[in-house]
Amino acid sequence: MFLTLQQDHLFEPWLNFKNPLVRQLAFSIASPDILKAYPDQFQIHQPFQLHSETVWQQYFHLYQSRLLYLDQHPHELEDFLNQLKSTRLGLRFEMFVWFWLRDSDYHPYELLGHSIQQIAGARTLGELDFLLKNTETQQIEHWEVALKYYLAECDFSFSHWYGLNRTDTLKRKLNHFTQKQFQFDQALDYPIQQRFVMLKGQLYVPLNTTIQQVPDWVNLQRRIGLWGYEFIPAVYTPHRLQRHEWLCPNDSPSSHAPQLWTDGLYCYQQQAEVQNFYMYRHRPLLQYRV
């Protein structure tokens, strides 16, 4: 029997919209960060914060009327996304965040800058994703945003979460945040007073994992996917997601049940009206010594 982790009553309002771009925009705002705390053994150089899932729920509710309008009249969002020529999911996610932050009537932030390069002479020191003024606290905030998909291996410890490119690990990404991306004390002549990571996406654990095996720093308010080398039984009507559907699947399946299984992300239903996610990987070829 194909298994899922028992995660009941998750907040997933992006599934209520019809337009694919609006579903992805709603996911970008409403979904919780994939982590709820610093992982064990993470060496902090420059501290940063993660927003709680209740904050993202609040921001979704503030934006809900706008999302409902865009679901019926998506042209403004479509035109904005058409500026993006890259197919990289991380940049697509950043565009959705940028679109939301530009809608200043729906959240407590003033957008001061986006993609701000920090330059010393002829040398580029780094770049800030977003510089914001929180109009409730009057604090200047530096946000770094990332969309990531990591697969757990071995004992699920901090150093054993890998991206599809195995050089992209959770450990490497968090180290880059704390050692590099949050090195600046000011930007655009504003003093930076708060630092936040907006780290969304999905984590995947091997088949037959129990909820007790998942580390306590993983946010279980976000649906956890599975990964493995096995095919999903046809009774669960699996279908392969297009790359942009990794943010949020379309309202209707965009492909048929696979005849030929290829590496990628699949959606299936084991319970009525619940979307589950499975990252299928071909088994690595065995290497024999002669």
Mean pLDDT of 69-91: 97
Between the CA of residue 208 and those of 5, 152, 212, 214, 222, what are the distances in Å? 9, 13, 12, 12, 19
pLDDT at residue 269, as a whole number = 87
pLDDT at residue 225, as a whole number = 96
pTM for the model: 0.95
pLDDT at residue 290, as a whole number = 38
pLDDT at residue 1, as a whole number = 57
pLDDT above 50: residue 270 = yes
For the segment 272-284, what is each residue's pLDDT rounded down to a tens digit?
Answer: 678 899 999 998 8
Mean pLDDT of 89-98: 98
pLDDT at residue 288, as a whole number = 41
For the segment 182-209, what is each residue's pLDDT rounded down to a tens digit?
Answer: 999 999 999 999 999 999 999 999 999 9
Please provide the average confidence, as pLDDT, over all residues in the chain: 94
Residues written for the chain = 290
Between the CA of residue 233 and those of 3, 239, 270, what are the distances in Å? 11, 11, 10
pLDDT at residue 89, as a whole number = 97
Contact present, 220 and 212 (Cβ < 8 Å):
no
pLDDT above 60: residue 80 = yes
pLDDT at residue 286, as a whole number = 53
Look at phi and psi of residue 117 and say left if phi exceeds 0, alpha if psi is from -120 to 50, else beta. beta
Q: What percent of the chain has pLDDT over 70?
A: 97
Question: 209: which 2 tokens?
Answer: 């994992």
Contact present, 27 and 92 (Cβ < 8 Å):
no
Contact present, 268 and 2 (Cβ < 8 Å):
yes
Q: Give the CA-trace dihedral at 65, 70, 73, 77, to 10 degrees.
A: 150
pLDDT above 90: residue 122 = no
